[in-house]
Structure 1
Amino acid sequence: MKKKFPIIETDRLILREVLKEDSADMFLYLSDKEVMKHMGLEPFQTQKETLDEIGWYQTIFKEATGIRWGITHKENGRVIGSCGFFNTHPEHSRAEIGYELSKEYWGKGIASEALEAIIHYGFQHFQLERVEALVEPANSASLKLLEKNGFKQEGLLRHYEFTCGKFDDLYIYSILKGDVVTT
């Protein structure tokens, strides 16, 4: 039996499963070099890369190693970004969080609204105790987003990843279940 993908609704957003039909909307932001700048990936060049990304979202959900919601704006229903958990460790009640958002929606509180919703969902429904985020030091917008949502910086992981032909330092941030009220 296929498990049902959870839908989360906020004031302005619906977070839902991403489908192949969403690939054109997703390609718009996944091919944008500014959106991809701090993601450790080159901007997407082809629709196939977007379909592969959607395939990865479906695989991590099916295999219960993560979940990635499409961020859709209630005004138009288009996928304008994604967010979710991956690198889950159920035995330790922890997961890593990731997100990206179309540039046209930057600075409008959309990412914060989505992040708050999935953090609460993770603590309530996945019994997470800890959510982690790894962020490039130069990604000031993401650092501010995490801090605004209660994440604490724990340290710098030097040369932690090799992406796009270089080693990247990453800050590690976390939020614990006890840091937030999950009503």
Structure 2
Amino acid sequence: MFKHFSVIETSRLILRQVTPADAKDMFAYLSDKDVVKHMGLEPAQTEEEVLDEIRWYKSIHEEGTGIRWGITLKDSGRVIGSCGFLNMKSKHYRAEVGYELNKDYWGKGIAKEALEAVVKYGFKHFQLERIEALIEPDNVPSIKLVEKLGFTREGLLRHYEFTCGKFDDLYMFSILKGETS
């Protein structure tokens, strides 16, 4: 679907490919139970586990099934989260979007700024028609975020995933290309 890894720039952020050099910054949030509790991941215990995550980002890009940008602040260049697509189905013009952010940056509009840029990028450059977000019902901040961006809640997927030793219900949200400004 795509060979090139584009950089996305917003007013405060640079969204870019992460590298092993970013593992220490990423460990700061991927080891935080509050950050990963809705991601279906256990908190990272070592930087090696973060390097596995970075390798996964690289593999989905190479396979054309996804792309994950590191979220960096323009003034520091440190990776403070990530945002991107997975389960991309070019045949059906759809993908899932996911994101996480270092807790130190919650409540500052950074996740909104990054997600909005990634959604626009997906519609424009990947010719997506539909972008989905699967969110645990008790992840209220994430639900508010996608609703603020115009996503529609379509329904509850009961016991949709098995992660961290339990079955998770997930709300399905989506936004269609024609619903964005």
Q: TM-score, normalised by structure 1?
A: 0.97
What residue identity is the alignment partner of 1:143? I
Q: Quote the residue 1:26 is aligned against.
A: 26
Q: Quote the residue 1:106 is aligned against.
A: 106
Q: Quote the residue 2:47 is aligned against.
A: 47
Q: Size of the alignment, in residue pairs?
A: 180
Q: Quote the residue 2:117 is aligned against.
A: 117
1:153 maps to 2:153: yes
Q: How far 1:75 moved relative to its partner? A: 1.6
1:130 maps to 2:130: yes
Cα deviation 1:85-135 (Å, max 9, x = unaligned) = 000110000000000000000000000000000000000000000000100
Aligned equivalents of 2:75 and 2:108: distance in 1?
Answer: 14
Q: Quote the residue 1:74 is aligned against.
A: 74
Alignment of 1:138-149 (within 5 A): 138-149=138-149
Q: Helix, strand or coil for the counterpart of 1:84?
A: strand
Aligned equivalents of 1:9 and 1:173: distance in 2?
Answer: 25
Aligned equivalents of 2:30 and 2:90: distance in 1?
Answer: 29
1:172 maps to 2:168: no
Structure 1: tracts of 5 or more residues without a match: none
What residue identity is the alignment partner of 1:159? H
Aligned equivalents of 2:47 and 2:92: distance in 1?
Answer: 37
Q: Helix, strand or coil for the counterpart of 1:4?
A: coil
Q: CA RMSD in A?
A: 0.9
What residue identity is the alignment partner of 1:46? T
Q: Helix, strand or coil for the counterpart of 1:146?
A: helix
Q: TM-score, normalised by structure 2?
A: 0.98
Structure 2: tracts of 5 or more residues without a match: none
Q: How far 1:5 moved relative to its partner? A: 1.1
Aligned equivalents of 1:48 and 1:131: distance in 2?
Answer: 31
What residue identity is the alignment partner of 1:144? K
Cα deviation 1:37-85 (Å, max 9, x = unaligned) = 1111110001111000000111111111100000000121100000000
Aligned equivalents of 1:55 and 1:146: distance in 2?
Answer: 27
Q: How far 1:4 moved relative to its partner? A: 2.7
Q: How far 1:3 moved relative to its partner? A: 3.2
Aligned equivalents of 1:3 and 1:128: distance in 2?
Answer: 17
